[in-house]
Chain A
Amino acid sequence: MLKRELILRNPVQSLAGESESILRAGHFGGILARAGVGKTALIVQIALHAMLNGRNVLHVSLNQPVTRTNLWYREIFGDIARQMRIERAEALWEEILPHRFIMTFRTEGFSVPKLEERLTDLIEQKIFLPRLLIIDGLSFDEPQREALAGLKHYARLNELGVWFSIRTHRHEEPGPGGLPRQLLDVEDLFEVALSLVPAGEEIHVNVLKGITLPPEHAHLALDPATMLVKSRIP
């Protein structure tokens, strides 16, 4: 009951529409923003939404240790629980925690085949069967098409939705169709793309492709104090 309420009242749910998950199996989603705008905060909220729905999330972080990644989850979950006045938040946290697995790599040591190898290890030994994969910190400044196409194939085979945080740069002009340069080469692999854009005191969450927001949540933003998703007045 508590969990259901938390899922439904959470504005992140509006990204999922009627269904339980925002991304379907085998689909790619990207969150694009400049450094420090809130990519990790949003991606963690999406992960928590999945965990509350009972779906296993594998969070792959490049260059952030496990403790720091865990801290992101604790803080965002704590903020959500406080905002929604959830009692016994600690018990709920312990209940959803088994749905998360953090894997961290050094950027220089990371490669898609290596990730696939680790994932296969987890899946074959039935240690953890992820339904959602989060990749935070992969650089899209270098060409990634081949690796991402391989991962797409793997995601389809294993019925995984994959979210990426994608760092853009202030000085770069967007490409045709308003898409950031980082996505141009791999746009066809991504079914969903969201961008975070600072606007005054708020950070707007804009849909670039793949999601139709319901009319009551047609405009979303990140609250700069808590970095939680909220509806905004246009």
Chain B
Amino acid sequence: MKKDIRFVRNIGISAHIDSGKTTLTERILFYTQRIHAMHDVKGKDGVGAFMDSMELERERGITIASAATFCEWKAHEINIIDTPGHVDFTIEVERSLRVLDGAILVLCAVGGVQSQSITVDQQMRRYRVPCLAFVNKLDRSGANPQRVLDQLRERLGHTPVPLQLPIGLEADFQGVVDLIRMKALYFDGDKGQTVRVEEIPAGLLEEARARREALIDAASLFSDELTETILEERPVSEEMLFSALRRGTLERRITPVLFGSAYKNKGVQPLLDAVCALLPCPEDVVNEALDMDRGEAPVRLSSHPDEPLVALAFKLEDRSYGQLTYVRVYQGTLAKGDTVVNVRTGRKIKIGRVVRMHSDQMEEIDAIPAGYIGALFGIECASGDTFVSPGLSLTMTSMFVPTPVISLAISPRNHKSEIGLSKALNRFTKEDPTFRTHTNPETGETIISGMGELHLEVYVERIQREYGAEVTVGAPRVAYRETITQRAEFDYLHKKQTGGSGQYGRVAGWLEPLAEGDFEFENQVVGGAIPTAFIPACEKGFRECLAKGPKMEFPVTGVRVVVNDGASHPVDSSDLAFQQAARGAFLQAYFKAKPVIQEPIMKVVVETPTGFQGAVMGSLNQRRGMIVGSQDEGNFCVIEAQVPLAEMFGYSTVLRSLTQGQAQFTMEFLAYRQVPQAIAEELEKKAAAQKKNVA
């Protein structure tokens, strides 16, 4: 393991599904001699690309779980996280970005910047991850690198700076001109392993000169030395240019762009050079932890290996020999035999085996120093936990976790499957914070919830394949909510004074809609009408009513409760009596406050060839969708709509058949909005029928 942190790169490869990132990773691993054969994503050879280590991923041709791996290139050690491409799995992408220092944004030269690229880019912006862009598939018919550059600028707001100029396009794509060294690069050998450096073809020389000028111009913004050199008309050195470009990249003010075709083994080695030259080392990135002893005040971490340890568990995997925990060490060193503390649980842990991962193969190591990514064996923890040296009380910033919007009932078919299901759920909920599970107390059913239909589908398949559990699943259910729309007053007396110990409590006040947040309780009682000791009981009583709304039994949100009067009895008042009084008061006012049902509305973005625009819009319209707009992009157009989640089940199949498989869509949660009257009535009918069935 290298000791010089300046030669370490922790990078992610993020992109739209099908833009070729898994193939690119495969080629990187081949050229860095981590693997000795190449396979395709949907391989004819039945092996599949190396990074897609899960059987299901291979079958579907998508990457679901980010496998971490490392490789070496020209004295640099590169840790790569292969990130998933579908929007339903963005928690995986977000987690990867949290632990990475830089990223390669892979874009398809034919498809360009698509909606998933926009989502991924937003995430990179949130975590301020510097990136390089790799425009892939230049060999494909319809490849248009200039359009991708325009889209990078217009759709993502980047300042793209091409470092290369493609030589030929589509079937004629031969190689690239390196605009920094002003040489033509060709990729020889049956696997493109030999980089042949030649003079620039005469036909491209003029354009290459002009592009180099533009490159130097863009870089000069970040280096006074370079500006002076240009003004004095001295030759610009490679080092000077790289140093200026690096500064711009680290500040996220420019995005260097490289070109190639990973599938045809072209342009991958220069990309690796650019990763080493332009992306940050762990020392370049400022990482902060929160000090739990000082009200979560931020503390800057040092990347020195001799400091006390701070490490983050960012991914868990269940292997046949126990749980594998991927960690990134931010400060200090995590070594075999060390005793560390899990900040969340406060428990001490002894570190056993420490390994370095290479997709699903591993290499034993002694320690993981600051700035590195590795994995631990036999550690009981959840994803997102922080490990520190004893005595420290730091935690890494909590990650943004969205609330699940869809759920379904799942039940095992036999006893053996019950055990498998329980194990699987236990593991998946630990691994993925957006995947949750609970038991419905009335029906006794196990309910799983997540971020979308595909998200749950993949987990159901994994439960069946990896744990051999035979399960039956119910129809997906949308997470509806109830809320109130107007203020309503209550004055409720709970009195039970006949026989045994009595109960007495009166609460008065009002409910009103709360614009932001789920629940707020305000005590405006003066003069001790309700003794202060019973106020928390009142709040508890109201809070307990929220779990199941009186209207349709959906959770109630957006309610503010103000209590301003009440009465108590010196002997018969108790916590329990005031809790009951609060429940009664809530029920008394709830229907007066005109409750309504709300449903999750998704932001749906469809990219379709222009010819199918009308059909796609029609399909969204049929689904109660409100079309926000359509953007014409030449051959294809992007339609943005807001559609209720309840109407989106099975939409991928519908879209595929409508557009001969040429359109794709992404979907993310936007907001909760009121359900139209007709739909609310339908829901009420369904709920009533269900109740009857249960009874």
Which positions in A face B, CB cutoff 8 Å? 59, 65-66, 69-70, 90, 94, 97-98, 101-106, 109-110, 118, 121-122, 125-128
Contacts and interface: CB of A to CB of B under 8 A. Distances in A.
Contacts of A122: 614, 617
Given A94-B673, A106-B633, A106-B634, A125 B626 contact: no
B617 A125 contact: yes
A65 B630 contact: no
B621 A127 contact: yes
B613 A101 contact: no
Nearest to B634: A109
Which 6 residue pairs are nearest across A and B when measured between Cβ atoms? A102-B629, A66-B629, A121-B614, A105-B632, A127-B621, A104-B631
B632 A109 contact: yes
B154 A121 contact: no
Contact of A121 (B617, B629, B633, B640): B617
20 contacts: A65-B154, A65-B631, A66-B628, A69-B629, A90-B515, A94-B673, A101-B629, A102-B630, A103-B629, A104-B629, A106-B633, A109-B634, A110-B632, A118-B630, A125-B617, A125-B618, A125-B621, A127-B617, A127-B621, A128-B627
Contact of B618 (A65, A105, A127): A127
Contacts of B673: 94
Given A101-B628, A128-B627, 16 more contacts: A66-B630, A90-B515, A101-B629, A103-B632, A104-B632, A106-B632, A106-B634, A109-B632, A109-B634, A121-B613, A121-B614, A125-B614, A125-B618, A125-B621, A126-B621, A127-B627
A70 B626 CA distance: 14
A98 B626 contact: yes
Nearest to B632: A105
Interface string B131-161: 0000000000000000000000011000000
A101 B631 contact: no
B621 A101 contact: no
B633 to A, nearest CB: 7
Contacts of A128: 627
Among A97, A101, A126: residue with most chain B CB under 10 A: A101
A114 to B, nearest CB: 8
Contacts of A97: 626
A101 B631 CA distance: 11
A97 B640 CA distance: 14
A118 B629 CA distance: 12
B88 to A, nearest CB: 22
A105 B636 CA distance: 11
Contact of B628 (A102, A105, A121, A126): A102
A96 to B, nearest CB: 12
Nearest to A90: B515
Contacts of A101: 627-629
Contacts of B621: 125-127
A121 B634 CA distance: 18
B121 to A, nearest CB: 13
Contacts of B515: 90
Interface string B632-643: 111000101000
Contacts of A121: 613-614, 617
A75 to B, nearest CB: 16
Nearest to A126: B621
Given A103-B629, A106-B632, A127-B627, A66 B617 contact: no
Given A102-B629, A104-B629, A106-B633, A66 B640 contact: yes
A127 B624 CA distance: 10
Among A69, A104, A126: residue with most chain B CB under 10 A: A104
A66 B606 CA distance: 13
Contacts of B629: 59, 66, 69-70, 101-104
Contacts of A94: 673
B627 A104 contact: no
A104 B632 CA distance: 6
B165 to A, nearest CB: 23
Contacts of B633: 106
A70 B628 contact: yes
Contacts of A65: 154-155, 631
A110 B633 CA distance: 11
